[in-house]
Amino acid sequence: MLVAIILLWLSVPMAVGDGGVGVGVSPSSLEYNVTGESPVSKELFVVNTGDVKARYDLSFDSQYQGMFTFDRNGFELNPGDSQKVTITYNPTLNPERTDLNIHLYVEGAESGSNVGAGVKIPVQVHHQQTLSTTTSTVNRRHFPLASSDPEIAQALQYLSSRQSADGSVDGFGTSCWAAMAIASCGYDPHSWKKESASIVDYLINSRSQVDLNKVTDIAKFILALTASNENPRNVGGVDYVSLLEDKFINGQFGDESMYNDDFWAIMALTSAGVSPSSPKIQQSASFIKNHQNSDGGWSWHNGPSDVDDTAAAIMALTSAMEGSQSPYITAAVNYLKSQLGPNGGFTYMGQANVASDAWAIMALVACGVDPTGLEWIHADVSPVDHLLSLQNSDGSFSWSPGQVGSAWWTSYAIPALLGKSYPVKGATTQQYTTTTNLQSSSSRTTSVVGKGKVRVRIEDVTRTIWSGWVEIPQARTILCYNSGRQYTIQGDNVLAILDEASEVGGFSYTVSDQWYPSMGFYVDSIGGHKAEGVYGWVYRVNYALGSVSVDNFKVSDSDQILFYYGTENVRPLRVQVDKVEVDVGEPFTVTVEFRDDSTGSWAPLPGATIHVNHDYVTDSQGKATITLNEKRVYNIYAERWGSTPADQYVRSDVIQVGVGVPIPEFSLMFAAAVSAISATLILLVLRLRRAPQRW
Ligand SMILES: [Ca+2]
């Protein structure tokens, strides 16, 4: 059946032009991320997809010619043959350091003839600047971060290190923010415990600390509960939502001279399921809008605008269904822009700081603005870069450089970096409980009945498009781009999972019904990368090649689904380490293996590149010995992409090694969260750590 799938790709009409000349390229776009002065090289495969011998020439428009060099050009290929071309961008030849969004032309012509064909390949060049004002070097960071990114993993680990046996993280107020931060990562705060009490148990047990006279206190408590999928309408018999609604006086919440209690009341009530169109929320929103300052910002009271309160006001108004194009919102966004510091970062009283960065980023996200867009970059630093520059080596965040980190600031930073806004919604589908039993804290962790999750990983030639867990849906409706037809399909197959993952992960894909129903649906692009020539999107389940079309392969709980851009003979890699935790300076060994599809076993791969802090290459045994000197958790993965399919491999999954930090405890928590607290999966992950060949 593999042959049938490969034939499908060949039958995809991709040859451009006529006269038998065809051009195929892989990848279908090039992206150069440039830091400093060093030239950056990218590889492009040119394939003769026609049926005659042809000569191929690569070129840029003349004004860009001098910035790029080709290691070969003007070569001839027989039908079906391919040639790797290394294209090097030299930043010193672009003195203005302008980012480029241009085309590379690949043209093929039959020898001695004008008959030819060509393709245009989008080429992007991004100049990333390094920060010299902080102790660590920060590159322009991809946004939003994923909860598996090391910055987030370390921040969570820091929060975990601050947790006490009673479940608290630095007291009641900070515990509220920490619960929201944990939930923003997709983890269930109920699983967050040092001993028997989780942070949610602590919050509920300590609810007497909520000052029932203060709207902001009640609101913060509700926000922590809703992020944790707890029911704020019944905590030990108390309805905190009604208590908050009772604070509505004269068209606003709480004190008539204060606005921040309205900001927080609206966010808390909408998070608890109160309709945004309810009269109290709409009147409070009008009250907020009526007290916008002429500069577009807000204060917490009748005073000069500040970033933090303006951000809270934006999130409150968007929670109350104010559109992102509303004049109140656009004026507020412009106010935030005016408060960027000269060195990047949002300021409060003139000083860039973690809270203003985090809140402003969350507010921008809430109204659909990308905080890493060009208009938000000062001195080559985006607010996200600036926020990351305030992270310390222990994972914590400081209010400003040189200050001690705290769980409070760290809890603000996490949802902002993940591109989330307040109110944070709980990630699990757990329903609100009708009663909260304060005594049986541990029983809650087994109360979630999952309908099954699968892990999805999408590997393009040059990047990982997405990886994460998705729930097996009941059904999905897919749209075939070629016919415009919609189909509702069952949820327990690879295509439905891809469709679900594209929604969860925010990436695109296209599916065609050109060969449906005889051969099933065909996925012909993911993340904008289309199948071309013999290369296209291949899937594997638990590393075994899919033998039927995507809609016909049934998936089961805990399956590992891998989509990758490749062709026949391209095989997946995996990495293993002999130790998952080492001391600083203690060597450990990484082994890179590929799957031998003829036997289903794994074999060592020499000459693979291992990415850690920098790159290592495996020896003849497929191994590399690595010594790391910085105390942190490292992500490790391997790649090899040679010139022929037999020497091309699918990038490995990422594994983590803790250097001087206790990773197993952290990984357990990680596993508990992603698997919706399934004890079975925790055991599986534990087994993974001890005997990785089980996966
Ligand atoms: Ca008020």
DSSP symbols for 33-88: EEETT--EEEEEEEE--SSS-EEEEEEE-HHHHTTEEES--SEEE-TT-EEEEEEE
Ligand 1 (ion): residues with CB under 5 Å are: 252, 254, 258, 261-262
Does residue 129 have a pLDDT over 80? no
Class of residue 595 by CB neighbours under 10 A (exposed 0-12, middle 13-18, buried 19+): buried
Q: Kindly report the number of other CB atoms within 10 A of residue 351's CB atom.
A: 12
Task: Supply the pLDDT for residue 426.
Answer: 61
- Give me the pLDDT at residue 343, please: 86
Cis check: omega of the bond before 401, within 30 degrees of 0: no
Distance (angstroms) between ligand 1 centre and the Cα of 510 equals 49
CA of 205 to the centre of ligand 1 (A): 28
- The whole-number pLDDT of residue 80 equals 78
Name which of 32, 149, 140, 26 is nearest 467 in CA terms: 149
- Residue 327 CA, ligand 1 centroid: distance in Å: 22
Distance between CA atoms of residues 660 and 649, nearest Å: 32
Q: In whole angstroms, what is the distance from residue 489 CA to residue 478 CA? A: 7
Q: Please name which of 89, 110, 107 lies closest in space to residue 98, comparing C-alpha atoms.
A: 89
pLDDT of amino acid 79: 83
> By C-alpha distance, which of 16, 27, 10 is closest to 515?
10
How far apart CA 107 and CA 119 sit, in angstroms, is 7
φ, ψ for residue 411 (rounded to 5)?
Answer: -70, -30
Q: Which two tokens stand for residue 563?
A: 């989509």
Q: Which residue, among 15, 16, 21, has the nearest Cα to 114 in the 3D structure?
A: 21
- State the distance from the centre of ligand 1 to the C-alpha of 364, rounded, in angstroms: 23
Q: Which pLDDT does position 334 carry in this prediction?
A: 96
- Confidence at 118, pLDDT banded by 50, 70, 90: confident
pLDDT of 15 reads 34
CA distance 574 to 136: 31
Centre of ligand 1 to C-alpha 679, Å, is: 46
Which one of 102-106, 626-630, 683-687 scores highest in mean pLDDT?
626-630
CA of 206 to the centre of ligand 1 (A): 26
Span from the CA of 421 to the centroid of ligand 1 (angstroms): 22
What confidence tier does 634 reach under pLDDT thresholds 50, 70, 90? confident
The share of the chain scoring above pLDDT 70, in percent, equals 86
307 C-alpha vs ligand 1 centroid, how far in Å?
A: 18
Q: What is the pLDDT of residues 265-279, one digit of tens each?
A: 999 999 998 888 999
Residue 17 in this model has a pLDDT that exceeds 60: no
Find, among 278, 280, 279, 302, the residue nearest to 290 by Cα.
302
Task: Compute the distance from residue 76 Cα to the ligand 1 centre, in Å.
Answer: 75
For the segment 42-78, what is each residue's pLDDT rounded down to a tens digit? Answer: 988 888 877 788 888 898 888 788 899 999 999 998 8
**Among 62-71, 552-561, 562-571, 659-668, which is the least confidently predicted range?**
659-668
Q: Which percentage of the chain shows pLDDT scores above 90? A: 51
Cα-Cα-Cα-Cα torsion 436, 437, 443, 448, nearest 10 degrees, comes to -20
Q: How far is the CA of 641 from the centre of ligand 1 (A)?
A: 60
Helix axes 307-319, 354-366, angle to 10 degrees: 30
Exposure of 440 in the CB half-sphere (CA atoms within 13 A): 8
What's the gap in Å between 338 CA and the centre of ligand 1? 26
pLDDT bucket at 430, cuts 50 / 70 / 90: very low
- Residue 7 predicted with pLDDT over 90: no
d(CA 572, CA 568): 12
Lowest mean pLDDT among 184-193, 438-447, 636-645: 438-447
Q: How many CB atoms lie within 10 A of CB 185?
A: 25
For residue 590, the CA-to-ligand 1 centroid distance in Å is: 58
State the distance from the centre of ligand 1 to the C-alpha of 262, rounded, in angstroms: 5
Mapped to the 3 state alphabet, what secondary structure does 362-422 carry? HHHHHCCCCCCCHHHCECCECHHHHHHHCECCCCCECCCCCCCCEHHHHHHHHHHHCCCCC
| Choice among 42-56, 376-390, 548-562 with the minimum mean pLDDT | 42-56
For residue range 394-410, what is the model confidence (pLDDT) as tens digits?
999 999 988 889 999 99
Q: How far is the CA of 546 from the centre of ligand 1 (A)?
A: 59
pLDDT digits (tens, 9 = 90+) for 443-499: 222 222 335 788 899 999 989 998 888 888 989 999 998 888 989 999 999 999 999
**Within 10 A of 415 (CB to CB), how many other CB atoms are there?**
26
Give residue 285 CA to ligand 1 midpoint distance, Å. Answer: 11
Query: Mean pLDDT over all residues of the chain?
Result: 83
Q: What is the pTM of this model?
A: 0.48
- What is the Å distance from ligand 1's center to 252 Cα? 5
State in Å: Cα 168 to ligand 1 middle: 30
Categorize the per-residue pLDDT at 12 as very low, low, confident or very high, splitting at 50, 70 and 90: very low
Q: Are 184 and 415 in contact (CB under 8 A)?
A: yes
Per-residue pLDDT of 286-311, as tens digits, reads 999 999 999 999 999 999 999 999 99
Distance of CA 216 from the midpoint of ligand 1 (Å): 10
Whole-number Å distance between alpha carbons of 537 and 483: 20
Going by pLDDT thresholds of 50, 70 and 90, the confidence category of residue 682 is very low
Whole-number pLDDT of residue 439 = 26
Q: b/e per residue, 436-453, with b = 16+ CB within 10 A? A: beeeebeebeeebebeeb
- Domains of the chain plus CATH, in order, are 2-128 (2.60.40.10), 150-442 (1.50.10.20), 451-566 (2.170.130.30), 568-661 (2.60.40.1930)
Q: How far is the CA of 329 from the centre of ligand 1 (A)?
A: 19
pLDDT recorded at residue 658: 79
* 180-195 average pLDDT score: 90
Residue 112: the pLDDT is 65
Mean pLDDT of 418-441: 50
Q: What's the gap in Å between 214 CA and the centre of ligand 1? A: 10
Q: Separation of 254 CA from ligand 1 center, angstroms?
A: 5
pLDDT of 662: 57
Euclidean distance between CA atoms 390 and 263, whole angstroms: 27
- DSSP state letter for 602: E
Give the amino acid at 575. V
- Asked whether residue 243 carries a pLDDT value surpassing 60, the answer given is yes
Confidence band for 85, pLDDT divided at 50, 70 and 90: very high
| Confidence grade of residue 525 (pLDDT, cut at 50, 70, 90) | very high
Say how many Å lie between the CA of residue 75 and the centre of ligand 1.
Answer: 73
67-71, 118-122, 173-177: which range is least confident on average?
Answer: 118-122
Distance 249 CA to ligand 1 centre (A): 9
Which uninterrupted H or E stretch holds 455? strand 453-459
Ligand 1 centroid – CA 642 distance (Å): 64
